[in-house]
Amino acid sequence: MSARFLSIMILALALAELTGRAQEQNFCLVCHSEIKVDYLESIHAAFNVTCVACHGGDPTTLDSRAAHALEAFFRGTPQRAEIPELCASCHSDPMRMKPYGLRTDQYAEYQTSRHGKLLAQGDTRVAVCTDCHTAHRILPAWEPRSTVHFENIPSTCARCHAQRDQGVHSAALAKGNTKAPTCATCHGAHGAAPPGVENVSKVCGMCHLAERTHFESSPHKKSMDAQNIGECASCHGSHTIEPTDRKLFDTVCTNCHGADSRAHLVGQKIKTLLLAADESLREATHLLEQAQQRAVDVSAYRSRLIEARSYFLQALPVQHSLDIPHIEELTRRAKSIADDVRSSLHSFQGVMAIRLLGLTLVWVFLLLLMIVIYLALRERRGEHL
């Protein structure tokens, strides 16, 4: 990636020099000064893809008629329906793209997308190449000002699809988390289509691999696919995914299972197991913090709690398997370690309390002793007067 980046930069710099000269002879720029501004920033200008490559015409004259003459193969403004083919004339041609190491499958993918299919049926409201890339200010995706730079993708799609992703993922993107998915991660940039129901877990599983593996081993995988239910999205949604916790078991399972069904009971059982482990962990962590505030050395307890937490964190994805014995095993380990730490810290607290009481008694005794001595001294002094 960075090697490619470097070579592109070097090429671009070298070519910008050449471009400067080539564009001096490009009289289209003289009259079309608004487009000139965008165009000179674009990667096409840097690689000498000139106005004529897309529009035809004669770039060596300042005579408007001659410049736009049909004899000079001027083709005017491309119709929306023609644009993908125009771009593809270079971008699908392996011979032309080879020197740049660019993929040549964008047009092929586009044709299989919902956008491409509807365009072929004459619906020109769909996205064509220039809706996502612009026509004259085309920049590579790694350039932060590009309309297809990952941070800008949601707003690029949202020009037509009212801002969709409102959940954890877009919140994470907004915070600059580059690991969160954009529209194009789940839908593909050029294959934009909702993932088929049976493919949702693959899409989500690109990042949530453990959840995917356990979901696919569950009875849900087969029966959800058979009944055309969208896998992960049927419980989490696709664009308004909320942060998860134990409450989900009370709200989501009853969408499909009766409140007295076996399935719902299984959900409640899992919830109870997770809750118990979680509460025990929280309590132990709280005690640990208290002990630490009293400057007690708690490092041994801390490493045991880290171990307990890791069992709990394993149980969260495993929960998707609906495999009670497996969940029980992990939550039991988490809970028993946490309980252990808890009771040690409790008895430790007890010892501390007794010590404190002892110390207080000693001080009270000493204080009383001093008072007695003082009074005795005073009495003696009084006798002398």
Sole window of 23-31, 282-290, 339-347, 353-361 interacting with ligand HEC (rule: CB under 6 A)? 23-31
Does 296 bind ligand HEC (CB under 6 A)? Our answer is: no
Which C-beta is closer to ligand HEC: that of 16 or that of 35?
35
Handedness of CA 166, 169, 170, 171 (dihedral sign): positive
Q: In whole angstroms, what is the distance from residue 235 CA to residue 379 CA? A: 85
Q: Which helix (H) or strand (E) holds 97?
A: helix 94-97
> In this structure, how many other beta carbons lie within 10 angstroms of the beta carbon of residue 181?
19
Q: In whole angstroms, what is the distance from residue 33 CA to residue 79 CA? A: 22
Does 301 bind ligand HEC (CB under 6 A)? Our answer is: no
Enumerate residues 130-169 that contact ligand HEC by CB under 6 A: 130-133, 135-136, 138, 140-141, 148, 153-154, 156-161, 164-165, 168-169
Does 6 bind ligand HEC (CB under 6 A)? Our answer is: no
Shortest distance, CB of residue 71 to ligand HEC, whole angstroms? 12
The residues, any chain, with a CB within 8 Å of residue 324's CB and separated by 6 or more, are 266, 269, 270
Which C-beta is closer to ligand HEC: that of 68 or that of 302?
68
Q: In whole angstroms, what is the distance from residue 119 CA to residue 192 CA? A: 13
Q: Which helix (H) or strand (E) holds 221?
A: helix 219-226
Does 229 bind ligand HEC (CB under 6 A)? Our answer is: yes
319, 337, 338, 342: which one binds ligand HEC (CB under 6 A): 319
Does 191 bind ligand HEC (CB under 6 A)? Our answer is: no
CB 61 within 8 A of CB 27: yes
Shortest distance, CB of residue 166 to ligand HEC, whole angstroms? 9
Does 312 bind ligand HEC (CB under 6 A)? Our answer is: no
Tokens of 361: 């008694």
Sole window of 242-250, 293-301, 332-340, 376-384 interacting with ligand HEC (rule: CB under 6 A)? 242-250
